[in-house]
Amino acid sequence: MLPGTRRGRRLDELAESTPTTTAGVSLAASAWRRLRRNPTFLVGAGIIAAFALLALVSPLLAAHDPALRLLEDQVSRADNRIPAPQPGFPLGGDQYGRPLLSRLLIGSQQTLLVALTATVLGLGGGLTLGILAGAFGGWVDTLVMRVVDVLLSVPSLLLAVSIGALFQQQSRFTVIIAVATVQIPVFGRLLRGTMLAQRASDHVLAARALGVPERSVVFRHMLPNALGPVVVQATLMLAVAIIDAAALSFLGLGSADTSTPEWGQMLGSAQDFFDTHPQLAFWPAGCIIVVALGFTLVGESLREALDPKKRR
């Protein structure tokens, strides 16, 4: 195994903590049994469920089109005025006079989209790298892992910003790509480490000794067991993706198009009004914190449930 950076090694250690059960099903079943009784998990899952539901039904809930500057006449740049809460607009308007509540509600859709696609892309990229390195071994492995190590040694936000800067025009798509790129080395490293630990584990050796074909060993015996830490990491990454997207917006690398709202973008673009109209930041920040907390709670309780040391 490559020594690599310390952070990489921690991922390897996490990877090696994978329980080695031959039947992925029984592992999932026992994890689920413990999760159902875990209040941390239940709270987190509740938050995520509410968030997903909100994203689905928000078009029905939102009273106004979030892109329309309905209260523009109440906005004044000169004396720094922003529409206050009023009948029909419980939270007032944003800096362009658009309805804040409707923007928050509809914003859940794009937020979920950014988090999901970025994580799926990051996971996909990491999976490809990890399998590539694991399958070919030798110099391919060395090369892939060197690049991964280097990417891990660039502070994550810096990496995201560097990727974002590659695009002429910032859009939601570029935000997703930037956020996903940060995740690729993390997943790649994790997956490779898990697969390596699996490769050396007794149940895989046993399967080999029984003459199980190599492809079957990889996909039936190694991958299912290697997935535990990956699922945990992915759940945690959903929270990170939302926060990273907000940070990118804050640094001016968010989507240039503000007609379809997204919480991170709303929060990032509220920075100029923070001293005078903190509510513009408080609302989207509150939403982000709650949802990020939801994903974190679920991720942490999953990690605990899959921890072989805590299993009985």
The binding site for other proteins (CB under 8 A) comprises 3-7, 9-10, 146-147, 149-158, 161-162, 165-168, 239, 243, 246-247, 250-253, 267, 271, 274-275, 278, 281, 285, 288-290, 292-293, 296-297, 300
Nearer to other proteins, 70 or 270 (CB): 270
Q: In whole angstroms, how close is the CB of 63 to other proteins at the nearest point? A: 27
The residues, any chain, with a CB within 8 Å of residue 219's CB and separated by 6 or more, are none
Nearer to other proteins, 182 or 204 (CB): 182
Q: In whole angstroms, how close is the CB of 263 to other proteins at the nearest point? A: 10
Q: In whole angstroms, how close is the CB of 17 to other proteins at the nearest point? A: 11
Nearer to other proteins, 37 or 215 (CB): 37
Q: In whole angstroms, how close is the CB of 231 to other proteins at the nearest point? A: 18
Whether residue 238 contacts residue 113, with contact meaning beta carbons closer than 8 Å, is answered with: no
Nearer to other proteins, 3 or 211 (CB): 3
Q: In whole angstroms, how close is the CB of 70 to other proteins at the nearest point? A: 27
Q: In whole angstroms, how close is the CB of 191 to other proteins at the nearest point? A: 19
Nearer to other proteins, 31 or 236 (CB): 236
Separation between Cα atoms, residue 74 and residue 271, nearest integer Å? 20
Nearer to other proteins, 25 or 49 (CB): 49
Separation between Cα atoms, residue 20 and residue 24, nearest integer Å? 9
